[in-house]
Structure 1
Amino acid sequence: MDIVQPKDLEQSLGLAKRRHAELCRQNRIFNARNRIIGGDAEAWDIQLHDQKIREATEKARHETFAAEMRRSDKTTCTLEDRERRDRKNLCKAITDFQQSLQKPESRREFDLSDPLALKKDLPARRSDNDDRNTVSGMQRFMGEDLNFHERKKFQQEQNREWSLQQQRERKNARADHKRAEDLYMKTRLQFDETAKQLQNLESATRKAVRAAVQEFNKSQALESAERKSLEKKQEQEDNLAEISNLLRGDLLSENPQQAASSFGPHRVVPDRWKGMTRGQLEQVRLVQKQQVQEKLRIQEEERQRDQEWDWQRVQNARTSVLMERQRRRQQRDLRRALDCSNLGLAREQLLQKKLMKEVCTDHPTEDYFTQFNTRSR
C-alpha cells in the first residue's frame, strides 16, 4: 500500500486545478454564445455606451413628447370650455332676439294660425260688383243680369255709333266710286288717242321698211349672181392648175430629191420618201455582212474562253481532290500516332495504380479524424 505524501497531494491538487481550468477554457472557447476570445471588447464597450446614450436620448425625447401632449391636452380642454361657453351665450342671444324681434305676429304665415282671423276678416259679400265674388263663392249666378240697365244703355249707345259710322262709310264709298269712274273715262280717252297715233306711225314705218327691204333684196340678188359666176370661174382655174401640178409634180414622177431634208443629207422627209437607192441598199447589205462576221468572231472567242475556263475548272478540281487525299492521309497518320501515345500512357497509368495499391496499404480511419480539435491548446 502506497503512502500518500504531501507532495503527491500538491501535485494532485495542481492537476485538478489545471483540469478544471482547461474545462472552463474549453467551455469558453467551444461555446459560441458565451465566447469573447477573439472579439474586440473595447468596441463592444463603446457600442454598449452608445446604446445607453441612445436609450437615454430616446427616453428624454419621449418625456418631452409626453409633456407636450399634456400641455396640448390642457390647451384643448381650455378651448373646449371656451367654445362651450360661447355656444351657450350664442343660444341665449338667439333666444332673446327671437322673443324680442321675431314675434308670431310678424311672421308671414301668421294669418293661417291667427286666433282672431274671423274677427279681422271681411264679410263674404259687400255688393254685386265685389271682386271677391268668385264662381266658387256662389255669390253670383248665371242669368241674374244684375247690370241690366247699364248694359242696355251701353248697347244703345254702341248701336247709334255703329249706324253713324256705316252712314259715313257708305257716303265716302259713293264719292270714291264716282271719282274712280271719272278717272277711268279720262284715262280711256287718252289711251284711245295714243293708240290711234301709234297705229298711224306703225303703218308709215311698215311702208318704209318694206320699200327698203325690196331694194336690199335686189342688190343682194345681183351681188350673189356676180359672186357665183366669179367663184365658178375661179374653181375652174384652180382645177386646171391642180391637174397641171399633179402631172408635172414630183409626186407622180417619184423624184427622189423631193425627200431630201433641210436638216442634213442623212435625214429624209417621211411623207415624201420613196425608198432607198441601189447604192444605199448595197451599203446596208455590206454592213450586215460585216456584222455577221463580227458576231461569228465574238462567238468563237467566247467558245475558246469557255474552253479555257472549263480546263482550269477541271485542273482546280483535280488539285482539290489530291490535296484532300493528302490531308486525309496526314490525319490518319496523326490519329495512329495519337492512339499509340494514348495506349502507352494508359499502360503507364495502369502500372502506377498497381504500384500504389501495393505500396500504400495504410488507409485513415475515423479514429484518426476524431483526435483533432479536442483541446484548447
Structure 2
Amino acid sequence: MYKVEIVPEAIQDQAISRRRKMEEERKKRFFNSKIRTMGIDVQKLEEQIKKKNEMKEIEKLRDKAFDNSLIQMGQVREAMEQKRKQIYKMQCQDLDDYRKNQQKFEFRREFDLNDPKRLYKDKPARVGDDDPRKSVSGCQFFGGEDLTEKDRIKRQKEQMRVWALEQMAEKAERRRQEIENDINYEDYRLKCSAECRKLQEEEKRIRDLQLSENVEYNKRLAELKRFKDYNYKIEDEKQNMRQIDYQLNSSKYILKEENKINPYTNRLRMDSYKGMTPKEIQDILDYQEYQRQENHKKREKELENESKWYLRTTVNSLANDLLCKEQERQKRELNKKITEENQKQAIADKERKEFYNKVLYTNVPTDAFYDQFNTSSR
C-alpha cells in the first residue's frame, strides 16, 4: 500500500481557516445578546413554536369540525324527534276521529238492548180510550179502570190546598197561644223574682243581726282575754321580782372574795365568778392607756420616717432633673457639632463633584474609544 505525502503548509492553512471559521461562529454567538443571555438555540425553538402553533390550529380545526358535526347530528335528531311526535299526534287524532265517527255507542248491534232512553222513545201501550191499537186480546182496557184520573188529580190538589190553608191557620193559632203563654210565664217569673228579692232582703237582715250579735260576743271575749292577760302579767312580774330578790340575797349567787379563788388550783372559780372587781377594771384601763401611748409614739416615729423619706425622694428627683437637663444640653451640643460637620462634608462633596464634572471629566469619548471593545471573543 502506498503512502501519500501531505504538505505541512496545506495542513496549517486548513487549521487556520478552520479556527477562523470557529472564531466567526463564536463571535456570532457571543455578540448576539439573546443567544448569549439565554444560551439556547433560538432557531430550533422558533421551529418548535411554529410546529406547536400549527398543531394547535389543526387541533382547533378538528375540534370545530367535531362540534359542527355534533350540532348537525343534534339538529337532525331534534328534527326526527319532532317529526315522530307529529306523526304520533296525527295517528292519535285519526284514531280518536275514527272512534268518534265510526264506533259510536248507538252503532252497536246490542244498542237496542242497552239504550238508556229506550223507554222514553217507546210509544205508550195506549194513547186513549179511542186508540185504534186496542184489541180484544190486547189486554189494554179492563173493567174498573180509573178513566177520570185527571179530574181526580185536580180534586186532590184542591184538597191539598185546603189542607195547607187549615195547617197555616192552625200554626198561626198555635203561635198566638205560644206568645200568650210566654207573656204569662214572664209575669209569673217577675212575681217569683219579687218574692225572691223579699226573701233575700229578709235573709240579709237576719244575717246582719246575727253578725252584730257575734261582734258583741267577740268584744266580750276580748275584754275577758285582756283581763286574764293583765292578771297573768302581774303574777309573772311578781314571780320575776321574787327570783331577782332570791338571786341578790342568796349566798349561791353573791360573789365573795373567799369563794372567788380555788385553793387547790389557785385559779378563778367559774361556778362562783360574777364579774371583775373595780381594781381589775382599773388595771385593764391603765394597760389600755399604756397601749394608746405606745401606739401614739409608734405613729410619731412613722411620720418622722415618712418625712425623711419624702425629703430624700425630693432631693433625688431634683438631682435626676438636673442630670437629665445636663444630658439634654450635651446632646444638643453634640447634635450641633454633627450638623456643622455634615454641612462642611456636604460643601466638600459639592466642590469635589464640581471638580469631577467641570475639570476632570471634560473629555468626550469618540467612536474609536467604543470600537476597541468587542473585537475578540477571547
- Give the alignment's TM-score, normalised by structure 2: 0.42
